[in-house]
Structure 1
């Protein structure tokens, strides 16, 4: 396992402050998308939802629409989500970068 400082990202990340909601089988919470890439999201939760690594989640926001993904990591009130890649997901992320950034 590599240390966080040595991690090489597949896609560059953009800092954001997009508000939204994350839901999984153990709960749901509003929060903020802290950073965004074509493949993933760092989401800061307002409430602990008991998200576990490997668990499927849905993300809803006005700017991004409806996305799905898998929890890759949890650290305090933040979770890392690897997006399920599809042409629809790619279009939604591209639209955000084009119109909202």
Structure 2
């Protein structure tokens, strides 16, 4: 049996557990933000929205407001979202870490 190598991440992730809504061309679903970093989100969907890699998405949450990004990966009921790099995105994520963590 081969040992799985640990994935070395460029940006540290913070485990979270708050709700939000993801919307893409395929539909919209509420769900749970499982982890968060300055560049991405792992989102567990309540309902399948037929998200595909590279597809644009928007994310709404009381904790950080409105963010946009693209689907980086999907596995079962979870999708990884690469956030659009902007000063607004950075400010919203920084605000979350300052006030909600």
Q: TM-score range by the shorter chain?
A: over 0.9
Which structure 1 residue ranges, 4+ long, deviate > 3 Å from structure 2? Answer: none
Point out where structure 1 has 5 or more consecutive residues left out of the alignment.
none
What secondary structure sits across from 1:8 in the alignment? Answer: coil
Point out where structure 2 has 5 or more consecutive residues left out of the alignment.
none
TM-score, normalised with respect to structure 1: 0.93
Between Structure 1 and Structure 2, how many residues are aligned? 98
1:53 lines up with 2:49 in the alignment = no
Structure 1 residue 7, shift from structure 2 partner:
2.8
- Give the whole-Å Cα distance in 2 for the aligned partners of 1:60 and 1:68: 9
Structure 1 residue 99, shift from structure 2 partner:
0.2
Cα distance per residue 1:69-92 (max 9 Å; x no partner)? 010100000000000010000000
TM-score, normalised with respect to structure 2: 0.93
Structure 1 residue 6, shift from structure 2 partner:
4.2
**1:84-95 map, 5 Å:** 84-95=84-95
Q: What is the RMSD computed on CA atoms of the aligned residues?
A: 1.1
Does the C-alpha gap of structure 1 residues 5 and 18 become closer, same or farther in structure 2, counting only changes over 3 Å? Answer: farther
Q: What's 1:18 paired with?
A: 18
